[in-house]
Amino acid sequence: MQTVLLIEDNRYDAQLIGTLFKRLPECRVLYAADAETGLTLAMSENPDLILLDLGLPDMDGQTVASILKDMPASAHIPLIAVTAWPPATARDMAEAYGCDGYISKPFNANAFLAEIKRFLKPNNTATAETLL
């Protein structure tokens, strides 16, 4: 079973994403409503993928992404920015923050799940050119 860490402060978005993951029974989803909890879970659970909302209440997305990518224990974990910014801005922010990809809200459920599967593949080569 693969583990996905969702760091998202918006309960509605978190519930929607959690519901979508029910279509991927091979995934276990961990949830953090703030950056501090998310960083703690990333270190203790070693997830296979991290979905990061860039607008968190306690820490900005750039700082969280930087911490995750600078720590040897989490630097290898694919990090996808999930944001309501327009797609072009989301892409630029994801690249600037060192994310491996991005998903713009609102998103198409099937495209979202396909993108998640792509990042969960062993030895993935996904880049920040991702757009939903």
Q: Tell me: the pLDDT tens digits for 25-61? A: 999 999 999 999 999 999 999 999 999 998 899 998 8
Which comes out higher in pLDDT, residue 36 or 129? 36
**Per-position b or e across 21-34, b if 16+ CB within 10 A of its CB:** beeeeebebbbbbb
Helix, strand or coil, per DSSP, at residue 130: coil
CA distance 54 to 80: 10
Fold of 2-120: Rossmann fold (3.40.50)
pLDDT grade for 79, boundaries at 50, 70 and 90? very high
- Where does the pLDDT of residue 18 fall: very low under 50, low under 70, confident under 90, or very high at 90 and above? very high
Residue scoring higher pLDDT (55 or 7): 7
Q: Report the mean per-residue pLDDT for the chain.
A: 88
Q: Where are the domains of the chain?
A: 2-120
The Cα-based distances of 53 to 1, 26, 35, 57, 122 in angstroms read: 23, 23, 9, 10, 24
When computed from its CA atoms, the radius of gyration of the chain, rounded to whole angstroms, is 13
Residue whose pair of structure tokens reads 């583990």 in the numeric block: 3
